[in-house]
Amino acid sequence: VACLTNWGVLVLLGWGAVCRAAPDPTQRDSLIRLETSRQIGGTVTLTPAETKMDARLRWMKRREMSRPAFPPAMHFFKAKPLIEKSPIFALLQKMPKGGALHIHSSTLVSVDWLVSNVTYRPHCYICFTSDRSVRFVFSAGYPWLTWDCSYWYLLETLRAKMGDPAAFDNSLIQNLTMFTEEPDLAYPSQDVAWEKFEKKFVVASGLITHAPVLRDYLYQGLEELRRDNIMYLELRSGLARTYELDGSRHDKLWYLKTFQEATQQFVEDHPDFLGTRIIITVHRSLSVSRVKAAVMEAIQMQSDFPDVVAGFDLVGREDRGRNLWYFKDALLLPANLGLVLPYFFHAGETDEEGTDVDENILDALLLNTTRIGHGYALPHHPLAKELARAGNVAVELCPISNQVLRLVSDLRNHPAAVLMSEGHPLVISSDDPSLFGNAGLSYDFYQAFVGIGGLKANLGTLKELAANSIKYSSLPPHLKEAGLLHWREKWDTFISSNGNQSRTTKGFV
Ligand SMILES: *[C@@H]1O[C@H](CO)[C@@H](O)[C@H](O)[C@H]1NC(C)=O
Ligand SMILES: *[C@@H]1O[C@H](CO)[C@@H](O)[C@H](O)[C@H]1NC(C)=O
Ligand SMILES: *[C@@H]1O[C@H](CO)[C@@H](O)[C@H](O)[C@H]1NC(C)=O
Ligand SMILES: *[C@@H]1O[C@H](CO)[C@@H](O)[C@H](O)[C@H]1NC(C)=O
Ligand SMILES: [Zn+2]
């Protein structure tokens, strides 16, 4: 039996202790406060203006929770229109959220832009595959035929002949996202969801890897993030080889340079944006020797582009791919050679407890990972959790991704609820925004704040989560400090310009 002494210390007593018989309401309140102080943001002291906003947020959250259709309990594709009507969401959109630390490059930009802008450029060809999907390619002449494309149409000509180009464009959008009206029917299992997920990447690749598109694509991605009040990005990218109209191809360095130039241009146009960095990725289906080569290449690129390259990661479905330990000879290369390559591993994006894949979290920590992507399985690993916490290894929580890929259906049951209530180092991200339709970070913040965090999560939680995204970024210490100051200014403006609305008004819009 646990009793709380007057000075707020937990003491363990045997059965029959006095406090067992008569719980003291004051002690109860102290215990509740003590426990709440452990959650993310639990020790943040709110200013009077923040306290006012917090009270209104709590009131709005209560109202949202009492509705029969509670968005975090539903599939995101059904919840999205409801979330967009939520006054909490409107406020989260305005909130300065810091950085997005877990987004993949091929899903950075909204598919609406891909269709309305990229597919309308000259020399864009389309083919219709036998599995009712499409492929795109830009080409000066008639494109090469491939195993899945036996006939190419020039989009410009095709559209001109069409009765309803808007409906056609809509079908192209469908080909590029996972969105559907009936997600539970379309994605009955993790296997089906992942299979469709991986196919979508192929559809977009012909558009994104066209060299003249890439720079605009990256710039547009940053625009979309900034519109959602995000000031920094760490992008996971395989540095795809891009192609020109004549079919000639550029190497990975070209990608890195283009990325660097697009960022510089963007920061020049928007000086309040901190910048972007890349985490170089390779697929976990590769052989050990190819991963070795990729590790060596990443070390070289990091030393050539220290301001751009943050580190290295492996991507692809963990459950069906090779685990980190399988690649140990490749991943230990930097340590063995006395070189440095920071890791940002996806680990524990699984519900297969006790399998080899489930050990990825521990192995990621043994390999000195800087952060853990997803860490869905982390709450089941008490030792790994302690190690991560002691080493300040933050988890990149991507709630909507976990739900769409079917690890969890009702986000109130997301295991990260444990991490949030324990104050585990955590940042919020969106993983594959164009595929899931969760552009920016506001949707994922909504799910973490309203669904996973529940009524306990407060404005202090939001403040700490946003600050965490700078604190746990790969920025060097002096830029981190400057970035945090910068973010603090934005935060204070956000509070002072949104703090005074009455709770009876419809929202903060
Ligand atoms: C696509 O967007 C770029 C700017 O990113 C613009 O210059 C261009 O005109 C647009 N193209 C089309 C076809 O809309
Ligand atoms: C992809 O686009 C084609 C062409 O418009 C269409 O027939 C097909 O239904 C679309 N596929 C999906 C999955 O939306
Ligand atoms: C991890 O860090 C520890 C302590 O700095 C170091 O001894 C070890 O070699 C590192 N391991 C790897 C794989 O980098
Ligand atoms: C909000 O209210 C405080 C006092 O409660 C006041 O000092 C402040 O100027 C007000 N801000 C705005 C934007 O109205
Ligand atoms: Zn990811």
How many domains does the structure of the chain reveal?
3
Q: Is residue 478 included in any domain, yes or no? A: yes
How confident is the model over 119-143, as a mean pLDDT? 97
Q: Is residue 61 included in any domain, yes or no? A: no
* The three-state (H, E, C) secondary structure of 363-420, written as one string: HHHHCCECEEEECCCHHHCHHHHHHHHHCCCEEEECHHHHHHCCCCCCHHHCCHHHHH
The number of the ligand nearest the C-alpha atom of 330 reads: 3
CA geometry: angle 483, 485, 487, nearest 5 deg: 70
Would the CB of 337 count as within 6 Å of ligand 3?
no
349 is catalytic: yes
Are both 123 and 168 inside the same structural domain?
yes
Give, in order, the Cα–Cα distances in Å from 58 to each of 55, 91, 157, 393, 421: 5, 13, 55, 30, 17
Are both 90 and 166 inside the same structural domain?
no
Would the CB of 367 count as within 6 Å of ligand 3?
yes
**What pLDDT, in 10s, does the model give residues 336-355?**
999 999 999 999 999 988 88
Are both 98 and 15 inside the same structural domain?
no
List the one residue out of 440, 414, 393, 498 whose CA is nearest residue 97: 440
Domain residues for 177? 113-192
Are both 392 and 310 inside the same structural domain?
yes
Q: What is the pLDDT of residue 16?
A: 46
C-alpha 227 – ligand 4 centre gap (Å): 26
Q: Is residue 44 included in any domain, yes or no? A: no
Cβ contacts of 302 within 8 Å, gap of 6 or more: 309, 311, 340, 341
pLDDT level of residue 20 (50, 70, 90 thresholds): low
How confident is the model over 355-367, as a mean pLDDT? 93
Are both 260 and 165 inside the same structural domain?
no
Task: Please check the confidence at residue 18 and state whether its pLDDT lies above 70.
Answer: no
Q: Is residue 47 included in any domain, yes or no? A: no
Full-model pTM: 0.94
**Residue finishing a domain among 161, 192, 223:** 192
How confident is the model over 442-451, as a mean pLDDT? 98
**Residue finishing a domain among 144, 169, 192:** 192
Q: What is the pLDDT of residue 499?
A: 77
Would the CB of 340 count as within 6 Å of ligand 3?
no
Are both 241 and 368 inside the same structural domain?
yes
Q: What is the pLDDT of residue 7?
A: 47
Are both 359 and 391 inside the same structural domain?
yes
Q: Is residue 271 included in any domain, yes or no? A: yes
**Residue finishing a domain among 172, 192, 212:** 192
**What pLDDT, in 10s, does the model give residues 398-441?**
999 999 999 999 999 999 999 999 999 999 999 999 999 999 99
Given the residues 50, 224, 318, 349, select the one marked as catalytic: 349
Are both 147 and 202 inside the same structural domain?
no
C-alpha 315 – ligand 5 centre gap (Å): 7
374 is catalytic: yes
Q: Is residue 349 included in any domain, yes or no? A: yes
Q: Is residue 58 included in any domain, yes or no? A: no
Would the CB of 335 count as within 6 Å of ligand 3?
yes
Share of the chain above pLDDT 90, in %: 90
Q: What is the pLDDT of residue 23?
A: 83
pLDDT level of residue 47 (50, 70, 90 thresholds): very high
Are both 381 and 441 inside the same structural domain?
yes
Q: What are phi and psi of 352, to 5 degrees?
A: -90, 80
Are both 215 and 148 inside the same structural domain?
no
**What pLDDT, in 10s, does the model give residues 150-186?**
999 999 999 999 999 999 999 999 999 999 999 999 9
Q: Which residues pair with 420 in a beta bridge?
A: none
What element of type H or E holds 232? strand 232-237
Task: For residue 219, give the ligand 1 atom closest to its CA.
Answer: 5
**Using N-to-C axis directions, what is the helix angle for 252-269 and 288-304, rounded to 10°?**
40
Q: What is the CATH number of the domain that holds 234?
A: 3.20.20.140
Are both 282 and 294 inside the same structural domain?
yes
C-alpha 49 – ligand 4 centre gap (Å): 8
**What pLDDT, in 10s, does the model give residues 280-312?**
999 999 999 999 999 999 999 999 999 999 999
Distance between start and end Cα atoms, the chain: 49
Are both 187 and 243 inside the same structural domain?
no
Q: Is residue 164 included in any domain, yes or no? A: yes
